Structure 1
Amino acid sequence: MSEDLPYTFNTSDWLPTRGVTDTLPIEAWFPEIFYTFYAVAEPAEGGTASGGGTAKYGESVLFMASPNESYTFYGWYYGEENMSGSPSFTLDTASFLDTHTLPVTSTENIFTFTAKFEPTSSDTVTVSLRSHPPEGGMVYGAGEYPKGSNVTVSAVPNTGYEFGGWCYDDAEETYITGNLTYIIQNIQEDTSLFASFYRP
């Protein structure tokens, strides 16, 4: 008869064909509501997010997250709300739906849960050194060091060569110093250098 809520019934459509005392057989039908739960990863390269699906009020929904290499799992979020710090968690839809409403702009019963990942932080950095040319001399000080430390690197020319200077080992090969010994102050990231040698 109608999908409107409320519904206004016009008795003039019924009474002319029925007795005054007849029972009016009107039923209200309430279909079950299904809710959809999506799982997404942020950032996409940080890992995988799975689970979710369609469920009715009171059912449970499982979410799972797995970080990629060099990332760690940070938490499951609904918007800015932290829902769980565990990579695998089960959502109680009754409890969630009782305390959360859809955005006013939404026309469907859809909720999105985000698995957030962060790059794995390291407390150490790597210093890489090389000689140029390789037969020109020896370099010392390569290895792993705690972040924030001062790292000393040194160069010793071989017989027949002289030291030209320390340079960054990148595309620009930026010159640093002409001293045989160089101290990298408060190192914060992986660093590659080369010692330049030449024949006089």
Structure 2
Amino acid sequence: MTNRDERLKQGAMRKDWRQELVELHPEVFVRTYRSVSFAPGHPFTCGDGWREIVTRFVERLSTATSGYAVLITQIREAHGRLAIHWRAEAAVPTNIERAIEEAIALAQARSACSCIDCGATASLFSNGGRLHTACPDHAQGVQVPVPPGMENLHAVRKFVGDGSSIIECRRYDRLYDRFVDIDPNSAGVRSWHEILAHVSDPS
């Protein structure tokens, strides 16, 4: 049985932090159809090591979208990092959308360097074609190599003054849970295109 299968089994057997989080924030998780409540974004595949990350994201989202009908449609592990999707029942102001996208980007970046089982600083591993982020104690398979200078680089959506957005490469600072700007010359690469190619397909 894989670690993911074990997490699914445990989640089905007992009420844990994932269910408690859904119940604590029904405004972003729960909807009702024909008198039946459901939570499409239930984070049941997220390991205990990502508890703080998922909880912080949900708290940020709930605060940013207060007064707006925003629903988490998916929070799950995918290719070693969080995959998060949402929708709004009506248009939301640009500043709200920016806050949502920033919260998602931070959560995904932190999950990419945090062990899904214990939360410790981690790296990406490949095990039989399956990618997972783990610390040395929970790692399985072979570590995916990262070119020097490209550690914790992420393609992040950035809004500009006119309301449009661009994709920008930024480095995630795990200590302070924030993104910092980078100079491509200091990363030891030839161009932004080389950086984007790596962060889009780290394998």
TM-score > 0.5, shorter chain as reference: no
The structure number with the bigger radius of gyration is 1
Q: Which bin holds the TM-score, normalised by the shorter protein?
A: under 0.3
TM-score (norm 2): 0.19
Q: Where is the strand percentage greater, Structure 1 or Structure 2?
A: 1
Higher relative contact order (CA 8 A, sep 6+): 1
TM-score (norm 1): 0.20
Q: Where is the helix percentage greater, Structure 1 or Structure 2?
A: 2
